[in-house]
Amino acid sequence: MVPLNIGSELGRQLMPVPHKQRHLQAGNLLRELADIHATQDLLLIDNIELLFDPTLQLSPLDLLKKQAHTKKVVAVWPGELRGEGRTSRLTYAEMGHPEQRDCATNGVVLFEIQQ
């Protein structure tokens, strides 16, 4: 099973879309790509950094959760897990960075891999 590489696959789909319309198309294109790449109700996702692009106006964690309504989703989060239990947060980028996100982990099963 090959993971869905959001950066290359969604990026390729968004390239012909005019900049001002990309935020309107990104969610639908991601759903279509996820449906194509899911195997036996399992979707592996990697390289999601494109979802943090502020011009796309997306909520990356919410998009991943929506995919999990119809299939099991395993996604690599390229940020940090902060806190524990009910107060844990997934973060991406530092405060002040245009792509910065800080998300509650409600409804998410987390596996942390230390490098």
Q: Rounded to an integer, what distance in angstroms lies between the CA atom of residue 7 and that of residue 16? A: 15
pTM for the predicted model, two decimal places: 0.90
Residue 86 pLDDT level (bands cut at 50, 70, 90):
confident
26: tokens are: 């990104």
What residues does 102 pair with on adjacent strands?
Answer: 91
Task: Decide: 43 and 34 in contact? Cβ < 8 Å.
Answer: yes
CB atoms near residue 69 (< 10 Å): 7
Average pLDDT over residues 1-19: 95
pLDDT of residue 85: 84
Q: Rounded to an integer, what distance in angstroms lies between the CA atom of residue 32 and that of residue 102? A: 26
8-state DSSP, 3: P
Q: Rounded to an integer, what distance in angstroms lies between the CA atom of residue 41 and that of residue 98? A: 34
90: tokens are: 């997934």
